[in-house]
């Protein structure tokens, strides 16, 4: 679903591309988008030239990282949304998106700063996810699990905010869980 109709890519080339994406994801997430391309290439065990062959621009690499992430989230939410009661599906997807979104904000900013309709390639997966989330929200509201006055935009803002809150907390699960408690309690109809 990622490469739209391009020749299959040789085995080693595909491996390099994947390694670059992995390394870039890791590095960008933990150390920010300012990390030099050269270092990413070296960490992936390839030369800069290889990086730029696969991703003609640093921005393109950023985009690819984001796309992969979004596609992953889309696929997972689909699975989650399938077999559960509306309220539980809603909660499960909320958790999933929040956990997967950590560190994602800076990417978006960097991409947006780069210029025009940066979302060109992101629009697809983004809309897919938003559509699914809209469905989940509506279902949860119909079933009485979530306050009916909440709009989609607010729901998305809460996802981003919750993700941000968790970013600040350490890995200790108890405080993280309490954040979820607060948000979920607040989402219930009064």
Partner DNA sequence: AATGAATGAGCATTCATTCAT
Partner DNA sequence: CATGAATGAATGCTCATTCAT
Contact residues for DNA (CB under 7 A)? 7, 9-13, 16, 34, 36-38, 45-50, 52-54, 56-59
Joined together, the tokens standing for residue 144 give: 């009485």
Using the rule CB under 8 A, which residue among 16, 77, 141, 162 binds a second copy? 162
Q: What's the Rg (C-alpha) of the chain?
A: 18
Q: How far is the CB of 121 from DNA (least distance, A)?
A: 16
148/138 Cα distance (integer angstroms): 8
Q: How far is the CB of 100 from a second copy (least distance, A)?
A: 16
CB burial of residue 55 (10 Å; 0-12, 13-18, 19+): buried
Smaller CB distance to DNA: residue 14 or 152? Answer: 14
Q: How far is the CB of 186 from DNA (least distance, A)?
A: 40
Q: What is the largest CA-CA distance in the chain?
A: 58
Check binding of 169 to a second copy (CB under 8 A): yes
Q: Are 118 and 63 in contact (CB under 8 A)?
A: yes
Smaller CB distance to a second copy: residue 35 or 75? Answer: 35
């Amino acid at each position: 679903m990622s490469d739209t109709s391009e020749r299959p890519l040789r085995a080693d080339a595909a491996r390099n591309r994947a390694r670059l994406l992995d390394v870039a994801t890791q590095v960008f997430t933990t150390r920010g988008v300012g990390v030099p391309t050269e270092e990413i290439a070296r960490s992936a065990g390839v030369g800069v030239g290889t990086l730029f062959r696969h991703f003609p621009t640093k921005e393109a690499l950023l985009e690819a990282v984001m796309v992969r992430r979004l596609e992953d989230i889309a696929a997972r939410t689909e699975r989650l949304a399938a077999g559960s009661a509306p309220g539980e599906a809603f909660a499960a997807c909320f958790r999933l998106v929040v956990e997967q979104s950590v560190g994602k904000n800076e990417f978006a900013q960097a991409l947006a700063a780069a210029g025009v309709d940066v979302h060109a390639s992101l629009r697809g997966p983004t809309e897919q996810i938003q559509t699914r989330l809209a469905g989940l929200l509506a279902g949860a509201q119909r079933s009485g699990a979530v306050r009916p006055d909440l709009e989609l935009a607010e729901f998305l803002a809460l996802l981003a905010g919750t993700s941000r809150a968790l970013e600040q907390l350490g890995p200790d699960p108890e405080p993280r869980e309490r954040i979820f408690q607060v948000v979920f309690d607040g989402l219930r109809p009064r």
